[in-house]
Amino acid sequence: MESGNGAMSDAMNFDEPEHVRMLRDQTRRFVAEHMPRAKAREWDRGNIFPREVFDKFAALGMMGLTTEERYGGAGVDIYATMAVIEEIAKRSVALACPYIMAVCYAGMNLGESASEEQKETLLPKVAAGKLMFAYGLSEPNVGGDLATVETTAAREGDEIVLNGAKRWCTGAHIADYIFCLARSGPREEKYKNLSIVLVPADAAGLTITPLGHLGIRGVETKDVILENVRVPAANILGGPEKWNKGWGQLAGRALEVEKLELSACALGLAEAALADAWTYAEERVQFGKPIAHHQAIRHSLAEARTKVQAMRHMLYHAAWLANNNRPCSVETSMAKLFCCEGAAEVSEQAIRVVGAYGLSDDMDLERYLRDAKSLPIVGGSSNMQKNNIANRLKLGA
């Protein structure tokens, strides 16, 4: 007989679905075999994107998790996508970035906002691991206030002409398209008159230049200069009828997923930093006993473990809401805020537990710290997430 308690235990089931466990295991095995620690260090030091490894991962069918089956994907599964990102980020956030560029930037945005023609042409390529987008939102003068972009898009017959500069364009040099937010009409109406144009990364007039910065070496972020770049009007995201309607396309599930993918990177990174510090604390002997037996170290690791557990719950609860098409803007902002701040804190805490060797390039902790620093800044800073949480919850309204 089904009891009230039975129904409740069903609703509160925290077990990961079987297919997600399998994807997780498959990703773990792939990471262990094709992305070993030594290689991740080598790619970080050499600033290398290992495309052949990425292609092997795609061959396992891992790129179709945000693409509907009718376009060659496995069906949209945001929860499973986050599990895969988390597992890759445990090795390296830089290695998770190209996966995100394909599955989230391209797959999610096309699935949510593309025209039928664009979906039919582009989504099968995403699912096959043959298409990556780089986000061209930020600009030299434009950070969080994205609706003030200065890059212009003008219609000339069946073509769009783009001029301007995009900054912090992660992976522009390995992407197929720049997902470019541009001012396409008068500035007076700030949130109207914006369009998203898919600009081929090899278009004439488009130049990609380096931008020195801390972290995510191998994928890097770049400057992208657009000088009279011409693309067909068919490259407007959603088709020509979506001209001047770009702002609305930035909202919705793709935006929720952007917050979640960074939270998944943060969780993976924090787990890796914690695991390394935990093991080290059990092995390093000072004052006649493993440092794990000194209370200060025990407390520090217990605190970090608690934080990571909370990060996991926040991420997967928000991912579950997004997956089920439930309202989740507050929960995704909370996850982004908590997980990204958490990763920055845990990666620093891990170094303090380990001590001097934590700063050595014989360990990975200094890389985790470098990569963690950007997480509370990118994809909507922690302050912007707090604004969103307070606004959505109508604080003071």
Ligand X SMILES: Cc1cc2nc3c(=O)[nH]c(=O)nc-3n(C[C@H](O)[C@H](O)[C@H](O)COP(=O)(O)OP(=O)(O)OC[C@H]3O[C@@H](n4cnc5c(N)ncnc54)[C@H](O)[C@@H]3O)c2cc1C
Q: Which of 1, 2, 170, 147 is nearest to 94 (CA)?
A: 170
Q: Which of 66, 113, 118, 170 binds ligand X (CB under 6 A)?
A: 170
165 close to 225: Cβ distance less than 8 angstroms:
yes
Name the residue among 221, 219, 214, 266 with its Cα closest to residue 370.
214
Instruction: Identify the helix (H) or strand (E) that includes residue 197.
Output: strand 194-200
Give the nearest distance from C-beta 177 to ligand X in angstroms: 13
Closest CA to 80 of 98, 64, 102: 64
Min dist. Cβ of residue 105 to ligand X (A): 8
Q: Output 181 or 304, the one with its CB closest to ligand X.
A: 181
Please state the closest distance from residue 129 (CB atom) to ligand X, in A.
19
Residue span 78-117 as binding mask against ligand X, x where in contact by CB under 6 A, dash where not:
----------------------------------------
Task: Rank residues 84 and 165 by Cβ distance to ligand X and give the closer one.
Answer: 165
Cα radius of gyration (the chain): 22
Nearer residue to ligand X within complex by CB, 165 or 319: 165
Q: Can residue 168 be called a binding residue for ligand X (CB under 6 A)?
A: yes
Helix (H) or strand (E) holding 289: strand 289-290
Question: Residue 148 interacts with ligand X (CB under 6 A)?
Answer: no
Q: How far is CA 237 from the centre of its chain?
A: 20
Binding of ligand X by 224 (CB under 6 A)? no
Please state whether beta strands 221-232 and 159-170 pair in parallel, antiparallel, or not at all (unpaired): antiparallel
Our finding on whether 147 is near ligand X (CB under 6 A) is no
Q: Residue type at 224?
A: V
> Which residue from 61, 72, 124, 143 is in contact with ligand X, where contact means CB under 6 A?
143
Per CB under 6 A, does 61 bind ligand X? no
Angstrom distance (rounded) from CA 27 to CA 30: 5
Q: Does 169 bind ligand X (CB under 6 A)?
A: yes
- Given 378, 385, 388, 389, the residue binding ligand X (CB under 6 A): 378
Tokens 């691991």 -> residue = 129
Q: CA-to-CA distance for 120 and 70, rounded, in angstroms?
A: 9
Q: To the nearest whole angstrom, how small is the minimum distance from the Cβ of residue 184 to ligand X?
A: 17
- What element of type H or E holds 285? strand 285-286
Q: Which residue has the tokens 């700030």?
A: 190
Q: Is 148 helix (H, G, I), strand (E, B) or coil?
A: helix
- Of 138-146, 204-212, 311-319, 347-355, the segment contacting ligand X by CB under 6 A is 138-146
Strand partners, 207: 225
Provide, rounded to whole angstroms, the least separation between the CB of residue 137 and ligand X: 3
Among 108, 69, 71, residue whose Cα is nearest residue 253: 108
Q: Could you say which of 49, 71, 133, 135 contacts ligand X (CB under 6 A)?
A: 135
Q: Which of 163, 300, 387, 391 binds ligand X (CB under 6 A)?
A: 387
Number of residues that bind ligand X (CB under 6 A): 21
User: Judged by CB under 6 A, does residue 244 bind ligand X?
Assistant: no
3-state secondary structure of 341: helix
Nearest Cα neighbor of 197 from 206, 189, 186 is 206
Contact between 138 and ligand X by CB under 6 A: the answer reads: yes
Asked if 140 is part of the footprint of ligand X (rule: CB under 6 A), the reply reads no
Q: How far is the CB of 25 from ligand X (least distance, A)?
A: 30
Nearest Cα to Cα of residue 222 among 164, 167, 151, 144:
167
Query: Closer CB to ligand X, residue 301 or residue 378?
Result: 378
In the shown chain, the binding pattern of residues 184 to 223 toward ligand X, with x for contact by CB under 6 A and - for none, equals: -----------------------------x-xx----x--
Would you say 131 or 353 has its CB closer to ligand X? Answer: 131
Which residues of this protein are in contact with ligand X, per CB under 6 A? 134-135, 137-138, 143-144, 168-170, 213, 215-216, 221, 374, 377-379, 381, 383-384, 387
